[in-house]
Amino acid sequence: MRYFIGNWKMFGIPKSLSILNRINKYYSKDKNRNKYKVIITPPYTLIESYSRHFRNKRISIGSQNCYQKEQFSSNTAAISPYMLKSVGAKYTLVGHSDNRGEGDSDSMLKDKVRYAIKNNLKVVFCIGENKKEKKNKKTLIVLKRQLRNVLEKKFNKNNIIVAYEPIWSIGTGKIPTANELKKTTIHIKKVLNGIFKKTSPAVLYGGSVDGSNIGMFKEIREIDGFLIGGASKTSKKFIDIIKNYYR
Ligand code: 13P
């Protein structure tokens, strides 16, 4: 199974639904549709209405984050996994570098993963090195630490998808070389095999993926799909990625 996940970040209002309707139309008719899943993570404000709209359709709706407590608490503006599930979310991102940058620690991320799974949300756990770590050749060490500090076998690999998003690649148009990416993906799967005992969750790539560079990524068979930011905000760009992947 391949994954094409669109992370809208701080984008979208109710009428932006038309973008997803066009993507869903393509997805529903695509002859390759059973080979992949499309998941979109709109902002919190749209999760309930979009989930209801797509309840019996192909696209799944997820959240971009969740709070590290399970149900209700007195944390202003926080949204728990229980609340997300109650409005129809099926997935949640955890550990996006935007949120790590705003203070999400490994122990907070572990609680997010734990409570998300407890509430039947599948977790897309994001990892990635920054520019300095890459320059100092620390990428593999950083990724191993990010995975080992949060993921545990008891979470069950079927509840987890890992998204490798090098921070220096997000929104910059810069992407790793095919060799680098193959090596990194194999390393991530090796670390995950260690955690989950000889079996690995799906591993996605994210960072400046678009219809013109997807051809390079598709050659790396170890990559199970993509987490797409900018190019998920228009139906044409998002559909082009899928079309060119299966070309
Ligand atoms: P871009 O595709 O805009 O580089 O964003 C990637 C990302 O951060 C998705 O979570």
Question: Could you state, in chain order, the average pLDDT of each consecutive group of 10 residues for the chain (247 residues)?
Answer: 98 98 98 98 98 97 98 98 98 98 98 98 98 98 98 96 98 98 98 95 98 97 98 98 97
* Annotated active-site residue in 53, 152, 165, 219: 165
> Ligand 1, atom 7: nearest CA belongs to which residue?
229
180 is catalytic: no
How remote is the CA of residue 104 from the centroid of ligand 1, in Å? 18
Please list the alpha-helical segments (H only) found in 43-105: 44-53, 81-86, 97-101
Q: What is the pLDDT of residue 105?
A: 98
Q: What is the pLDDT of residue 198?
A: 87
The DSSP element (H or E) to which 235 belongs, if any, is helix 235-245
- Mutate which of 92, 162, 168, 209 to test ligand 1's pocket (most atoms within 8 Å of Cβ)? 209
Q: What is the pLDDT of residue 112?
A: 98
How remote is the CA of residue 242 from the centroid of ligand 1, in Å? 16
- For each of the domains in the chain, give its residue range(s) and CATH number, in order of start: 2-245 (3.20.20.70)
187 is catalytic: no
Q: What is the pLDDT of residue 141?
A: 98
Burial class (CB in 10 A: 0-12, 13-18, 19+), 148: middle
Pocket residues for ligand 1 (CB within 6 Å)?
7, 96, 165, 170-171, 206-209, 227-231
* Annotated active-site residue in 48, 53, 70, 96: 96
Give me the half-sphere count of Cα atoms (radius 13 Å) on the Cβ side of residue 22.
13
Three-class SS state of 190: helix
Distance CA 190, CA 172 (A): 28
Atom of ligand 1 nearest to the CA of 207: 4
